[in-house]
Amino acid sequence: MQRSHILRAANPQVEFVGATSRTNNDNLLLTGIAGLQEGDIVVAFSQDDNNTHTLTSSGWSGWNTNFPSSNNNNNIVNIAAYKIMGATPDTNLRFSDDVDVICAAAFRSAQWVSSTSSASSTGTNSITAPSLTISRGGSAAIYFAMLDDDNSTITGVPTGYTIATQNARLGGTGGIIYRLERPAGTESPSGSITFGSSDDIFVRGLVLQP
């Protein structure tokens, strides 16, 4: 007797491609992300101590309420954005004025979902990342972490998370952290995002699903 065999595709997973960051500039060179290709999704943010600014590159979408202009959250002026790369991936991400920090990270086999959250704390060096709702296994949980005013570093992240990129100058410190292969359910990171100095902190969370 012959047995029938059912071929099962491997569970889809979001993949990390690479990341880049820059300080004191109106232009982030996305060529700093090696291997960026069509279909990759780039998530990015800008932050500044006090200068309002606008994202001027075309084709980007955002989820801060004033997009493509900036919001002030906990004394940190910022923009949050994403874009799916076309056949010729973007080479830069431009803003209307110099900003303190720009960070971007690229992911593959990923699509945008609207499950986002934010958190802030004042006059401290750490913050608990906000929980995220994940509807499909194999997703990536991502956080934009920002510290006001200080030229510092991200010194600690929640268990299982990785720093994709970070940068800093006197006007502030920012970075992107992520964790892959997250199951469906509530993502509640264990441990804090910690900076090397204390000031106001603002964090945005987002989910990319396969």
Q: Where are the domains of the chain?
A: 15-209
Q: What is the pLDDT of residue 1?
A: 39
Whether residue 183 has a cis bond before it, omega within 30° of 0: no
The predicted-structure confidence for 18-35, as pLDDT tens digits, reads as follows 999 999 999 999 999 999
> Span 134-148, mean pLDDT?
97
Q: What is the pLDDT of residue 9?
A: 47
Using CA atoms, how far residue 155 sits from 109, 125, 174, in Å, is 29, 10, 12
Q: Identity (one letter) of the amino acid at 116?
A: T
Kindly report the backbone phi and psi dihedral angles of residue 30, in degrees, each rounded to the nearest multiple of 5, phi listed first: -75, -10
